[in-house]
């Protein structure tokens, strides 16, 4: 299994399984994203919800950024605001106050369509429960985010599945795959649009330790191509693989 992934800022070309072409997909030295660049950042973000018993503050003045090529783990007790923070980072929810910056530009004021397009072009998602379509093959699940885009993403989907070790499972449906294989399909799907940031919600939550390590090794290799990775987790294994761990308690973020 190769550890090479297309660079997040590389043009979306039809990939090849040829060795020479595969090597060409590596980020060349002059194309590496600076380690101190932050493709995604929250500045002074507060998120509040109105409930029948008053206002609940899920996030309180959060400052956070992920560097290109960095893996950051977010830990904290249940109900601490981790899912809310991931939703804000993923442009699925808007903050009550503060700013969300993509490559330094604020996303406030975007229409829902613009937010959807920006999310699709910039952010990949990996979920604990995989969220694969049962009736679709591995290749079809991976190319699904490109369904309404021009061109055929099948060659890239095949290439990504091969890179995560599933080149012999291309036509298998989810019920023919193990938990670890399903998570690898989900990872490949998250990379189909060459995101700058990968957001993972409990990426090892449904996996045994050995399989979890294999999945985290894949995530590590993805980060090494310049993708910033943010993982919400309760698993100590994830924090061991992370470059940095932050803790969220009652909506307040601190270094762990």
pLDDT, average across residues 215-220: 93
pLDDT band at residue 245 using 50, 70 and 90 as cut-offs: very high
Q: What is the DSSP letter of 102?
A: E
pLDDT at residue 128, as a whole number:
83
Task: Look at residue 153 and tell me if it is in a domain.
Answer: no
Task: Look at residue 173 and tell me if it is in a domain.
Answer: no
Best mean pLDDT range from 111-115, 181-185, 205-209: 181-185
Per residue in 50-65, pLDDT tens?
988 899 999 999 999 9
Distance of CA 20 to the CA centre of its chain: 28
Query: Which of these, 33, 35, 190, 45, lies nearest to 106 by C-alpha position?
Result: 45
Of 5-9, 69-73, 107-111, 156-160, the one with minimum mean pLDDT is 5-9
Per residue in 12-58, pLDDT tens?
443 333 333 322 222 333 334 444 489 999 999 999 999 888 999 99
pLDDT band at residue 4 using 50, 70 and 90 as cut-offs: low
Question: Whole-number mean pLDDT of the chain?
Answer: 86
Residue 219, pLDDT > 70, answer yes
pLDDT band at residue 5 using 50, 70 and 90 as cut-offs: low
Task: Look at residue 104 and tell me if it is in a domain.
Answer: yes
pLDDT, average across residues 101-109: 90
pLDDT, average across residues 133-161: 95
pLDDT, average across residues 112-134: 91
- Residue 74: give its domain's CATH number: 3.40.50.300
- Domain with 232 in it: 38-130+196-255
pLDDT band at residue 239 using 50, 70 and 90 as cut-offs: very high
- Count of the separate structural domains present in the chain: 1
Task: Look at residue 16 and tell me if it is in a domain.
Answer: no
Residue 240 neighbours by CB under 8 Å, 6+ apart: none
Residue 233, pLDDT > 80, answer yes
pTM: 0.82
Q: For 3, phi and psi rounded to 5 degrees?
A: -105, 10
DSSP result, 77-125: -TTSSHHHHHHHHTTSS--SEEEEEETTEE-TT--HHHHHHHHHHHEEE
pLDDT, average across residues 222-247: 95
């Amino acid at each position: 299994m190769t550890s090479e992934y297309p660079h997040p800022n590389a043009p979306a070309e039809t990939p090849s399984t040829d060795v020479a072409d595969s090597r060409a997909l590596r980020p060349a030295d002059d194309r590496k994203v600076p380690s101190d660049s932050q493709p995604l950042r929250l500045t002074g973000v507060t998120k509040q919800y109105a409930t029948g018993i008053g206002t609940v503050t899920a996030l309180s003045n959060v400052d956070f950024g992920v560097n290109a090529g960095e893996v950051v783990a977010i830990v904290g007790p249940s109900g601490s605001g981790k899912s809310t923070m991931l939703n804000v980072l993923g442009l699925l929810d808007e903050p009550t106050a503060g700013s969300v910056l993509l490559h330094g530009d604020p996303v406030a004021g975007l229409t829902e369509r613009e937010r959807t397009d920006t999310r699709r072009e910039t952010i990949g998602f990996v979920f604990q429960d995989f969220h694969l379509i049962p009736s679709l093959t591995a290749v079809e699940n991976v190319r699904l985010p490109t369904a309404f885009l021009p061109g055929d993403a099948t060659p890239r989907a095949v290439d990504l599945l091969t890179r995560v070790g599933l080149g012999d499972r291309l036509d298998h449906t989810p019920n023919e795959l193990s938990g670890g294989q399903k998570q690898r399909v989900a990872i490949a799907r998250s990379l189909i649009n060459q995101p700058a940031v990968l957001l993972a919600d409990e990426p090892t939550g449904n996996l045994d330790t050995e399989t979890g390590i294999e999945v985290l090794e894949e995530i590590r290799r993805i980060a090494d191509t310049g993708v910033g990775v943010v993982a919400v987790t309760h698993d100590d294994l994830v924090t061991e693989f992370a470059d940095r761990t932050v803790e969220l308690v009652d909506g307040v973020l601190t270094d762990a």
